[in-house]
Amino acid sequence: MTDSTLLYLHIPFCDSKCHYCSFNSYVDRFELKERYMEAVVTQLHDDLEAFGIEKGSLHTLFIGGGTPSTVEPHLYEPFFEALGEFLCEGAEITSEANPNSATRGWLEGMKGLGVNRISFGVQSFFDDKLRLLGRAHRATDALRALEEASEVGFDHLSIDLIYATMLDTPKRIEAELETAMELPIDHLSAYELTIEEGTPFQKRPHVRVESLEQAQRLKERLEGAGWRAYEVSNFGLSLCRHNLGYWEYRPYLGVGSGAVGRIGNLRYAPCRQPERYIEDPLLRECESLTPQQIIQEKILLGLRSCVGISLADLTPQMRERAELLVREGKLDASGGRCYNPDYLLSDEIALFIIG
């Protein structure tokens, strides 16, 4: 395989379970960490061979979760050794982290392994909002972690913020953004609170409020400060290449329980349950995507980001509907591609084109 490929590693361990979280994460499995990290190396070796990944063709690595900062850097060492020459020169290597578990020692250890970008799950700079969300850290923890990450030498730092909670007001959102702008970050992800099935918030739907005005305020404030809105929830002075790779529909490996990978038209997922994954890290559920599914996914991803969609990828009927939207001023067109100027309308526009 010669195309540049992405790699995602899932860490299912968490120091706490947030009230909104539906991700594949566990707060009571820490005794599995060493065996789990051995299993991900086994899967990585197999994936690299099975999918014909060439040396130097992995352009990004993203370690997500869960909470990657709950796993000590020395446990990651065999994984990075297995990657070896498969990572290209100058690869973007990101790890998520929580402010309360990303100690200076952890940050130094991960930087020593080659991680060059940290994404902190800050979510808010208000302690009452952090308690509402079920976060295990306080605002001072986030400020400390970001300062230490900068001192350790990370030039690329990102934070996540959540909005559309019952505690959010225009004044408080402005205060959150003012604090963020003073930090040594070059990327920010702003996610509206969603009520997921099976989470504590499912029984408390009132914690979420209407979000359109807040989303517009966030976008206007960040763009006014020179930050590029390059996806519906992502803003950057420096863009995340891993994120862009997903939206560009590049192939990606998914390693670990709860990960998903897609190589060509094959989508696969290792076992979600950590104990079962450790027993057989090569067990996968596989799905062959149809050409129609691939087109639809490219449309959905492209229109919610700066990537846009290629008219050449569309069926004649889809192309006709896209060109109608261009004539009506709802899409921009350039170089055989269409771009969505309003990401908040991306789903509606995508569904219209798909038909």
Q: Are residues 300 and 194 in the same domain?
A: no
What token pair was written down for 169? 């007001």
The model's pLDDT over 159-213, given as tens digits with 9 standing for 90+, comes to 999 999 999 999 999 999 999 999 999 999 999 999 888 888 888 999 999 888 8
Whether residues 197 and 313 share a domain: the answer is no
Query: What pLDDT is attached to residue 1?
Result: 42
In a domain, 217, yes or no: yes
- The reported pLDDT for the residue numbered 45 is 98
Residue pair 11/64 in contact by the 8 Å Cβ criterion: yes
Residue 216 sits in the same domain as residue 105:
yes
Q: Give me the residues paired with residue 208 across strands.
A: 165
CA distance 4 to 2: 6
Residues 232 and 115 reside in one and the same domain:
yes
Pick the closest to residue 58 from 10, 91, 96, 9 (CA basis): 91
Residues 219 and 319 in one domain: no
Decide if 58 is inside a domain.
Answer: yes
Residue 109 belongs to domain with CATH number? 3.80.30.20
Positions of the chain with pLDDT under 70: 1-3
Write down which residue in 185, 220, 247 finishes a domain.
247
pLDDT at 197: 86
* Shared domain check, 210 and 334: no
* Integer Cα distance of 45 and 317 in angstroms: 43
* Ordered DSSP codes for 127-174: HHHHHHHT-SS-HHHHHHHHHHHHHHT-SEEEEEEEE-BTT--HHHHH
Residue 279, domain member (yes or no): no
13, 16, 20, 14: which is closest to 129 by C-alpha?
20
253 domain-assigned: no
Does 16 share its domain with 92?
Answer: yes
User: Has residue 265 been placed in a domain?
Assistant: no
- Residue 25, domain member (yes or no): yes
Rounded CA gap, 334 and 345, in Å? 20
Residue at a domain's end among 247, 277, 305: 247
On whether residue 74 sits in a domain, the answer given is yes
How far is it, in rounded angstroms, from Cα 181 to Cα 37?
36
Same domain for 314 and 168: no
Q: Note whether 104 and 207 are same-domain residues.
A: yes
Does this model's pTM top 0.85? My answer is yes
**How many structural domains comprise the chain?**
2
Same domain, 239 and 103: yes
Domain that holds residue 320: 291-355
Predicted local distance difference test score (pLDDT) of residue 2 = 44
| Cis omega (within 30 of 0) for bond into 264 | no
Following DSSP, what letter does each residue of 320-353 receive, concatenated? HHHHHHHHTTSSEEETTEEE-S-GGGHHHHHHHH
For residues 319 and 238, membership in a common domain is answered with no
Is residue 271 situated within a structural domain? no
Shared domain check, 119 and 38: yes
CA–CA distance, 76 with 115 (Å, rounded to integer)? 11
Residue-level pLDDT at 198: 84
End-to-end CA distance of the chain: 33
- From 194, 220, 247, the end of a domain falls on 247
